[in-house]
């Protein structure tokens, strides 16, 4: 079910390590999602976010070469775009305001990623053609 | 330290004081005996003086009588009178002799008693002196300990009302002993921590001791440092609190180290998890790029080896940055026999040593070079006698602020090159790492091309500024 929910959805991936970012991209592509990015920095991700009006969700690494991703997370909250954190830190590194955001520990399991992200996405509008 | 030794010293001191007190009492009673004996002696002496006077007057009387008797020698009528007087005199003289003997005996015993008393007094005095000397030594030891210990030491009445502070306190806080007295010491505490101290003093009655942590301002640097403050009560035998003896110990370094340790633990956790994610990603890619489990095993072992070598370089003690030449030689050395200069028969390395790399780049760089070397050995310049590999590098200024490492990897003399459009023989992972991973992670500019006689690859990447 969750896998179906990701089909054709546009998911932003933010992760500074290319090998991991590429792994996330492959996993999301395999689940039928379209990947925006991946972006290695907050600045690059902000640029993508601004340019992309139709974003369905995001997968965020917490620490991007020493810069925390929370500024971007706030921007996503402001646009009501659901997201999950992927991190090597425990939950104490995450500010309280994101306490309801799912936290995925690295290394990610592809099935966990899809089952965590899928339910966050709003139901698709049913269109009749 | 103070808490374990103080009671022992207190005991010793109290024993000495008790002994001193007993000796003082004994001395006082001995002195009283001495005074009584002296009184007796004085009385006896007075009596002797009286008797001597009587004797003298009796002698004079006797002389007069003798003179008179000689004048009246022939006066027989006076003879009876004279003999009666002489008898009286004889009796008085004998009585005097007895008294003199008694006096002599009394005097001798008095002198003996006096000698004994003097000996006792002397013995007691030397005991008291020895005890006083011991007390002085103890005092000196305590003072040396107090003056020499790094802790700030103080004495206080109930409620944190200080009565004394050590020279160390004044040296650290700049507050004199007079200024710090009573509640003056509070001023040295960080304003945010003053409540902590006040609350700790409120708890002492129920706790039986004082303990709190607070920042104390160093007068010389103007900065606050964390101190642990502890105090124990000095009690009378009945259990009443006489005063509080306290120490404040600098624990700032320990707290800082604990904070650093927590940061390092977080960082270690972060890196380990990331490394596992990288391993997982490499495994996924290797699974997709290999055709059999045997093939997978050979390939994944080699790639894990490259990652392990990168970790080894990163965690080398005392090395702040991994350098490009160290990484290159490490990777080449894993596949080829290098000579002392790091060269091999078919390989030329040319470039400065010691060019630092961003730590976040080392892993990807190592993996990329691993793929390049592996492909060169399997299919490229190092797969036949005719090939040659030249790796040249130098540092150039990209702009006024940034320096870049330029790397040129050139294989020549390669026969049997893949035709354009053929599927890459190494799975294309090395090429992907050069063309995509390095630009993604570090904004590197890279190129990768199959020329007519071998691979040509270039990398331009920012190097960290010295001192960062």
Residue A129 predicted with pLDDT over 60: no
What integer pLDDT is reported at residue B453 of this predicted model? 86
Determine contact: B435 vs chain A, CB below 8 A. no
Range of the domain at B26: 2-148
Query: Is the domain of B105 the same as that of B127?
Result: yes
Structurally, chain B folds into a number of domains equal to 4
Integer Cα distance of B200 and B187 in angstroms: 16
Determine contact: A19 vs chain B, CB below 8 A. yes
Beta strands in chain A (DSSP E): 10-14, 34-39, 57-61, 63-64, 67-68, 83-87, 103-105
Query: Is the domain of B388 the same as that of B325?
Result: yes
Q: What angle do CA B248, B251, B255 make, to 5 degrees?
A: 150
CB B232 within 8 Å of CB B245: yes
Integer Cα distance of B189 and B173 in angstroms: 9
Give domain status of residue B104, yes or no: yes
Residue B2 predicted with pLDDT over 50: no
Mean pLDDT of B435-448: 90
Strands lying side by side in the sheet with B403-412: B347-350, B388-397, B403-412, B454-463, B445-451
Query: Is the domain of B93 the same as that of B172?
Result: no
Q: Which helix (H) or strand (E) holds B75?
A: none
Give Cβ neighbours of residue B26 (< 8 Å, ≥ 6 apart): B124
Using the 3D structure, point to which of B148, B181, B210 is the last residue of a domain. B148
Using the 3D structure, point to which of B289, B312, B343 is the last residue of a domain. B289
The model's pTM? 0.64
* β-strand partners of B445: B460
Give domain status of residue B103, yes or no: yes
Burial letters A76-95, b for 16+ CB under 10 A, else e? beeeebbbbbbbbbeeebbe
Cα of A106 to nearest chain B Cα, Å: 5
Chain B residues in contact with A106 (beta carbon < 8 A): 273-274, 276-277
Query: Is the domain of B415 the same as that of B347?
Result: yes
Share of chain B above pLDDT 70, in %: 90
Cα of A1 to nearest chain B Cα, Å: 24
Give domain status of residue B468, yes or no: no
Query: Is the domain of B75 the same as that of B196?
Result: no
Integer Cα distance of B96 and B76 in angstroms: 30
Query: Is the domain of B234 the same as that of B277?
Result: no
Kindly list the structural domains of chain A, giving each domain's residue range(s) and its CATH number in brackets, ordered by start.
2-120 (3.40.50.2300)
Alpha-carbon distances, residue B397 vs B17, B362, B440 (angstroms): 82, 21, 21
- Residue pLDDT, tens place only, A83-120: 999 887 777 778 889 888 888 888 888 778 888 888 78
Share of chain B above pLDDT 90, in %: 36
Which residue in A22, A64, A88, A108 has the most chain B C-beta atoms within 10 A of its own C-beta, making it the best mutation to test that interface? A88
> What is the DSSP code string of B348-378?
EEES-S--B--HHHHHHHHHHHHHHHHHHHH
Query: Is the domain of B67 the same as that of B167?
Result: no
* β-strand partners of A104: A86
Using the 3D structure, point to which of B242, B266, B289 is the last residue of a domain. B289
The two tokens of residue A16 are 């500074």
Query: Is the domain of B171 the same as that of B195?
Result: yes
What integer pLDDT is reported at residue B47 of this predicted model? 80
Tally the residues of chain A: 129
Going by pLDDT thresholds of 50, 70 and 90, the confidence category of residue B450 is: confident
Query: Is the domain of B134 the same as that of B7?
Result: yes
Across the interface, whether the CB atoms of B437 and A63 are under 8 A apart is answered no
Other beta carbons within 10 Å of B422: 9
Helices vs strands, H then E, count in chain A? 5, 7
Chain B residues in contact with A107 (beta carbon < 8 A): 273, 276-277, 279-280
CA nearest B360: which of B462, B466, B259, B467? B462
Q: Indicate which CATH number applies to the domain containing B386.
A: 3.30.565.10
Give domain status of residue B210, yes or no: yes
Other beta carbons within 10 Å of B454: 22
Query: Is the domain of B117 the same as that of B30?
Result: yes
Least confident of B3-17, B38-52, B145-159, B222-236: B3-17
CA torsion sign for B196, B197, B199, B205 is: positive
Q: In this prediction, does ipTM exceed 0.90? A: no
Alpha-carbon distances, residue B459 vs B158, B324, B414, B437, B442 (angstroms): 74, 12, 21, 12, 11
Phi, psi of B89 (to 5 degrees): -65, -40
Query: Is the domain of B120 the same as that of B60?
Result: yes
Integer Cα distance of B395 and B405 in angstroms: 5
Give domain status of residue B420, yes or no: yes
Query: Is the domain of B245 the same as that of B283?
Result: no
CA nearest A28: which of A44, A47, A9, A52? A9
Across the interface, whether the CB atoms of B271 and A88 are under 8 A apart is answered yes
Across the interface, whether the CB atoms of B276 and A23 are under 8 A apart is answered no
């Amino acid at each position: 079910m969750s896998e179906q929910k990701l089909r054709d959805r546009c998911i932003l991936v933010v992760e500074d390590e290319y090998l991991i970012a590429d792994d996330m991209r492959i996993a999301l592509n395999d689940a039928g999602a379209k990947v925006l990015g991946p972006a290695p920095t907050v600045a690059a991700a902000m640029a993508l976010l601004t340019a992309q009006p139709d974003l369905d969700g995001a997968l965020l690494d917490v620490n991007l070469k020493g810069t925390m991703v929370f500024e971007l997370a706030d921007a996503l909250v402001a646009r009501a775009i659901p997201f999950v954190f992927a991190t090597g830190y425990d939950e104490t590194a995450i500010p309280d305001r994101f306490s309801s955001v799912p936290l995925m520990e690295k290394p990610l399991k592809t099935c966990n990623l899809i089952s965590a992200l899928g339910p966050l996405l709003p139901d698709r509008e049913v269109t009749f053609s | 330290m103070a808490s374990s030794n103080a009671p022992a010293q207190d005991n010793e001191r109290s024993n000495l004081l008790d002994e001193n007190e007993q000796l003082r009492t004994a001395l006082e009673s001995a002195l009283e005996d001495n005074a009584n004996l002296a009184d007796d002696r004085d009385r006896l002496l007075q009596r002797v003086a009286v008797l001597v006077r009587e004797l003298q007057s009796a002698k004079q009387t006797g002389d007069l009588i003798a003179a008179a008797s000689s004048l009246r020698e022939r006066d027989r009528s006076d003879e009876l009178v004279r003999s009666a007087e002489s008898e009286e005199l004889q009796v008085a003289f004998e009585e005097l002799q007895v008294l003199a003997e008694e006096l002599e005996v009394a005097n001798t015993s008095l002198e003996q008693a006096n000698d004994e008393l003097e000996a006792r007094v002397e013995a007691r005095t030397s005991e008291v002196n020895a005890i006083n000397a011991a007390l002085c030594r103890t005092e000196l030891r305590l003072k040396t300990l107090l003056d020499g210990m790094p802790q700030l030491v103080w004495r206080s009445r109930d409620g944190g009302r200080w009565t004394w502070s050590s020279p160390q306190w004044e040296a650290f806080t700049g507050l004199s002993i007079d200024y710090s007295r009573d509640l003056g010491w509070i001023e040295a505490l960080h304003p945010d921590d003053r409540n902590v101290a006040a609350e700790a003093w409120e708890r002492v009655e129920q706790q039986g001791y004082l303990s709190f942590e607070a920042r104390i301002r160093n007068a010389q640097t103007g900065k606050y440092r964390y101190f642990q403050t502890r105090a124990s009560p000095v009690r009378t035998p009945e259990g009443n609190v006489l005063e509080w003896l306290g120490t404040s110990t600098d624990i700032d370094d320990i707290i800082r180290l604990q904070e650093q340790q927590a940061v390092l633990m977080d960082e270690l956790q972060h890196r380990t998890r990331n490394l596992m994610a990288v391993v997982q990603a490499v495994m996924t890619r290797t699974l997709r790029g290999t055709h059999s489990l045997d093939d997978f095993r050979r390939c994944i072992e080699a790639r894990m080896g490259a990652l392990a070598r990168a970790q080894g370089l990163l965690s080398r003690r005392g090395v702040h940055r991994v350098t490009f030449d160290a990484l290159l030689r490490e990777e080449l050395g894993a596949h080829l026999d290098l000579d002392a200069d790091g060269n091999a028969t078919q390989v030329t390395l040319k470039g400065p040593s010691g060019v630092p790399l961003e730590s976040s780049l080392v892993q990807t760089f190592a993996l990329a070079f691993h793929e390049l070397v592996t492909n060169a050995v399997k299919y490229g310049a190092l797969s036949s006698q005719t090939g040659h590999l030249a790796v040249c590098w130098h540092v150039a200024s990209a702009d006024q602020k940034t320096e870049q490492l330029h790397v040129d990897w050139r294989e020549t003399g390669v026969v049997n090159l893949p035709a354009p459009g053929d599927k890459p023989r190494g799975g294309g992972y090395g090429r992907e790492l050069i063309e995509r991973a390095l630009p993604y992670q570090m904004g590197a500019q890279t190129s990768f091309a199959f020329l007519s006689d071998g691979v040509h690859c270039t990398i331009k990447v920012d190097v960290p500024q010295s001192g960062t």
